[in-house]
Structure 1
Amino acid sequence: MKQQTKSFIWLIIFLVGFPQISETIYTPSLNDLAHLLNVSANDIQKTLSIYFAGFAIGVFLWGILSDFIGRKRSMLIGIAIYLLGSFLCLRSTEFHFFLLARFIQAVGAAVGSNVSQTILRDVYNEKERVGVFSTISAVLAFSPAIGPMLGSIVASIWNVSMVFRLLMIIGSIAFIWSLFGLKETLNVKTKINYNFHVIGQNILKDRLFWIYGGIIGVVNGVIFSYYGEAPFIFIEMLRFSIVEYGYIGFVVALASFSGARFCKSMNKKISNYKILTTGNFVFFVGIFIFFFAVTFLEPSSVLFIIILLLAIFIIMFGLACLLPVCLSNVLLHHKNYLGIAGAFLGLYYYVVVCVITLIMSWFHSPELYVYPLFLLFWFLVNWILMMFNRK
């Protein structure tokens, strides 16, 4: 495929990134939102889980539709649904209605994640994809940081309702940019009538699909569970202001950027398996440092804050090493039906993300040691998955 323009890459980055911003932008206001909707901290964390339940359905829906009605048309319809969900979030005054609005918002937002990745697989060959995914992952490392930062600033100046107005603006930009800047990449001449039974059998038998897809789900689940827990750790327990909490997002961003760049630099030097095991080991080191901080240091001390931020940096660095390899290779055996295969992949790993964030909402506790125990469990899950991929 011919070299893509920089504007194309930036459009794809924006389309992949705005669902992440949508998820993280209101997390600094979780405490305020819980009070506004008159629910507990455990309940308000379920707004993260419902988002990923909608996202799981959305990526499945858009992955299939993109193979039948085209990538661009699917993108525009999905963003329109996202705008509707964002508007309903803005108008919500009751918890269960807010959950429904978040679900609709997520179904629409999923188009940015799924269809954008399918477009990249359309236009880049196997050798180019790891580098492209690493580059995009490195840039996108800042989207989770941008979300809390924007959310904290907006909430501190105005209120949480203004956050959802901002999301409507972001969605409008995504719609207009896609309308004029996105070209159709589905090759209609080679389009075939898919046999879902055969495709389903192929996926069920594909070890890489289940291993890499599971790791993608665990990594994203851990990252977004952090965004569910972090406001309560830093704002409620450690008494950070909402703006100070927003700045912490750049620690995560720098870690994710560094991890993605490390993966890209190691791509041609060591095997995929070694990159994955290295990343997971770094993840474990971060968890160990987290345990050390909560066990031996006084939470109100400056040293505790420094060590805690170091632990978070190392955790996120390790996780960021895993994603480019998994995203690039997870559909390696399904090139003839990437849209539908991507739909099954998205359904799979976002169900994993939904389950992980839901478990975190159940185990949410004012005791700081609970979260690193939670992380340790998912490190072990990753390690087991990698053992099945050992060659």
Structure 2
Amino acid sequence: MPAAPGWHVLAVLSLLMGFASISTDLYLPAMPVMSRSLHASEGLVELTISGYLIGFSFGQLLWGPISDRYGRRPSVAIGLVLFVIGSAGCALSESALVMIGWRVVQALGACASVALSRAMVRDLYEGVRAAQMLSILITVMAVAPLVGPLVGGQIVAHAGWRAIFWTLVGIGIVTFVALFTISETLPAERRNHEPLGGAMARYGELLRDRRILGYLGTGGFFYAGMFAYVAGTPFTYITYYHVPEQLYGLLFGLGIVGIMGSNILNSYLVPRFGYDRMLLAGTIIAAFSAVMVALFAHFGWGGLWGLVVSLFVFVSATGFIVANSITGALNNFPGRAGAVSALVGAVQYGSGIIGSGIVGIFANGTPWPMGLVIALCGIGSLLSMRLLYPVTGRDDGRCLPVPLEVTELN
């Protein structure tokens, strides 16, 4: 690999990073149609998101150590094969339960692309340049959910819901071919030959640290609320409020615009106020707006737009919570950034399983189950900040709480 990889390499890495959004957001507008086609309740169809999150959450805990030992490219290649197989299985499914199983397989493959693309950036770049490249990839993650539902709505309108998953098969094959146009980023001499069992055991050690639990809690509860939003809004907007499937993507895209805006604002404010203060502000915004979502959902205040506006505020808190909670967790154990990063990702998407799953289980044809889950998650995110206290008046530009005793793990 050349010392300064070109835009071709960055384009491939960007495509890999976008798999988390592509795999789910593309078929969101098709969920009501899928429910009728598969003769399944809306709650059971919503569980296809939970099945995906199960594979995505636990899978990335495995791919990190595997790629450290055997290399990035072969690991991603195997993941892409699983993704193609899982997508084809979804397209051929004749029942919601079968589709849930294939979604797990699809996610096991997709999470390899997402998790290892970040590792590949760290292999290729250092210092400020690495931060710049990661920022570009994160931007792609925000753009993909904006475009996905719009494209998915057009596909389902003109070719049916199964065509969405055949499209994903094609994307997986194209990405597999593109992967082999770039070189391996982790040379053999830099690989870690530690047994996989030892690498997995370190996760338990990290979970004994109180501050990491605080950061995991703020991000995890918020992600549960976010995936309750992802699972609940297709039926809320399309079925309950009769929004055309082609326009669902526009309403969903409003939230993505809010996420992008809050991330930009956070990048300007963090140097001044520190990531813990910005995290606290984000959890306050999330808790307040989440309660408002529940009230609008239960009483119907403002109709569709009352719910859309309150959800927009809640979703926009992403820019203040996700990046800052991850930064705080990584800064506690800089020598174990890889393990902490995988743990954070697993907790975030694992909590999404719970959030989307509860919405699916208690779905009753109204926005209320989604609103209640979002409210509880927003409050939980705020309460998790208590693990980062006591508070001092000291302002070092980086953090608000007094550092608790953090012992370097052996």
Q: Compared with structure 1, are the counterparts of its residues 127 and 381 closer, same or farther at alpha carbon in structure 2 (3 Å cutoff)?
A: farther
Change (3 A) 1:297 1:373: closer
Equivalent in the alignment of 1:137: 138
Cα separation, partners in 2 of 1:200 and 1:250, compared to 1, 3 Å: closer
Alpha-carbon deviations, 1:218-274, whole Å to 9, x = none? 333322221211111111111111001122122012111111111211121111111
Matches within 5 A, 1:1-391: 5-123=6-124, 133=134, 135-181=136-182, 183-185=184-186, 188-189=189-190, 191=192, 193=194, 195-196=198-199, 199-200=202-203, 202-291=205-294, 293-294=296-297, 304-335=303-334, 338-390=337-389, 391=401
Query: What amino acid does structure 2 have at the position aligned with 1:279?
Result: G
CA distance in 2, matches of 1:347, 1:293: 31
Question: How much does 1:128 deviate?
Answer: 7.0
Q: Distance in 1 between matches of 2:130 and 2:321?
A: 15
Distance 2:269 2:342 in 1: 29
Contact 1:64–1:343 (8 Å) recurs in 2: no
Q: CA deviation at 1:34?
A: 1.3
Q: Report the CA distance shift for 1:379/1:207 in structure 2 as closer, same or farther (over 3 A).
A: same
> Following the alignment from structure 1 to structure 2, what is the Cα–Cα distance between the partners of residues 210 and 124?
30
> Deviations for 1:268-297, whole angstroms, at most 9, x for unmatched residues?
111111111111222234335435544666
- Distance in 2 (CA, whole Å) between partners of 1:73 and 1:155 is 34
Question: Residues 302-349 of structure 1: CA distance to partner in whole angstroms, max 9, x if unpaired?
Answer: x53333322222111112321122334433455555555544444333
Q: State whether residues 56 and 350 of structure 1, in contact with CA within 8 Å, keep that contact through their aligned partners in structure 2.
A: yes
Q: Which amino acid aligns with 1:11?
A: V
Write the deviation string for residues 165-220 of structure 1: whole angstroms up to 9, x where unpaired: 11112212322222213641467336353644873454233334433333333333
Distance 1:94 1:308, change over 3 A: closer
2: CA distance, partners of 1:35 / 1:90: 15
Identity %: 20
Alpha-carbon distance in structure 1 between the residues aligned to 2:216 and 2:124: 22
Gap change, CA 1:275 and 1:84, over 3 Å in 2:
same
Deviates more, 1:180-189 or 1:50-59: 180-189
Q: CA deviation at 1:147?
A: 1.8
Q: Which amino acid aligns with 1:267?
A: V
The CA distance in 1 between the partners of 2:55 and 2:20, in whole Å, is: 12
Q: CA separation of 1:73/1:333 partners in 2, compared to 1, >3 Å: closer, same or farther?
A: farther
Instruction: State which drifts further: 134-143 or 49-58.
Output: 134-143
- Distance in 2 (alpha carbons) for counterparts of 1:12 and 1:110: 13
Number of aligned residue pairs: give it. Answer: 387
SS in 1 for 2:213: helix
Say if 1:187 and 1:208 are closer, same or farther in 2 by CA, change over 3 A: farther
Structure 1 residue 97: Cα displacement? 2.0
Moved more, 197-206 or 143-152: 197-206
Higher relative contact order (CA 8 A, sep 6+): 1
| Counterpart contact for 1:138–1:261, Cα < 8 Å | no
In the alignment, the residues of structure 2 paired with residue 329 and residue 8 of structure 1 have an alpha-carbon distance, to the nearest angstrom, of 30
Which residue identity lines up with residue 325 of structure 1 in the other structure?
N
Q: Equivalent residue of 1:181, what SS?
A: coil
TM-superposed CA distance for 1:356, in Å, is 1.7
TM-score normalised over the length of structure 2: 0.84
| Shift of residue 11, structure 1, vs aligned partner | 3.1
Cα deviations across residues 64-99 of structure 1 (Å, max 9, x unaligned)? 211111122211110111011111111111333222
Distance in 2 between residues matched to 1:122 and 1:377, nearest whole Å: 40
Alpha-carbon distance in structure 2 between the residues aligned to 1:292 and 1:166: 39
1:371 CA displacement: 2.5
Match of 2:407 in 1: none
CA–CA separation in structure 1 for the residues paired with 2:364 and 2:331 = 41
Q: Shift in Å at residue 363 of structure 1?
A: 2.2
The DSSP-based 3-state class of the residue aligned with 1:267 is: helix
Once the two structures are overlaid, the 10-residue window that deviates more, 15-24 or 306-315, is 306-315
Report the aligned-residue RMSD.
2.8
Unaligned runs of 5+ in 2: 390-400, 402-410
Q: Is the 8 A contact 2:293 2:375 kept in 1?
A: no
Q: Counterpart of 1:214 in structure 2: which amino acid?
A: G
TM-score, normalising length from structure 1?
0.88
- CA distance, structure 2, for counterparts of residue 89 and residue 271 of structure 1: 44
Hey, what's the Cα distance between the residues in 2 that align with 1:13 and 1:356?
Answer: 28
SS of residue matched to 1:45:
helix
- How far, CA to CA, are the matches of 1:291 and 1:109 in structure 2? 32
SS at the partner of 1:193?
coil
